[in-house]
Amino acid sequence: MEQTKSLIKEVLGVVVISLIVVIPIRMYIAQPFVVSGQSMDKTLANGNYLIIDEVSYKFQNPERGEVIVFRVPEEALAISNYSLDKKMFFIKRIIGLPGETVEIDGDSVKIFNEKNPKGITLNEPYAFVDKLSPYFKDIKKKIVLKSDEYFVMGDNRHNSSDSRFWGPLKKENIKGKTFLRLFPFNKISITPGAYSDYQF
């Protein structure tokens, strides 16, 4: 009987300690996220299971090429006729940084900043373009980003609701960046999708 009580106490102790450790991590450090949809093909596919790093951006600013999860802004909800109170999250790639100007000409993306006042066209090896969607080829926009704004796009350029349609993303909406892909098992990787070789 005493052995049983001792075992129960041990089990309860492990459970309590696990909860004390796991719950704060889940709430403030890392969150699971399942990719839904095709906007990040071929980088991240529908059903990919990710762990999102929620801590890094408390100490450093988001960088171009990072893949982030963010709360969908009201402008994007309105376009899809959702209630503005609806809580949804998207996953996209950061293309433009605060203070920059982003010019979209079909599938071409040009960045203007202090270092490149005449603009530089991004080399984007991760971008997937489905030639069967001609509408996207006609998009022409030039957007100036404020000090707290980012320009985000899906890698599947002809199948993504992103900053081309609903405008810049506020930093306050960003939840975190991709840290780990756990599923599918044959594609387990750290910082999946991140890219930094823009040669600015």
For the annotated catalytic residues, the residue numbers are 39, 92
Give the amino acid at 24.
P
Going from the C-alpha of 102 to that of each of 63, 82, 92, 99, 141, the distances in angstroms are: 15, 27, 16, 10, 8
Per the CB < 8 A criterion, the answer to whether 83 and 74 are in contact is: no
d(CA 69, CA 50): 10
Three-class SS of residue 33? Answer: strand
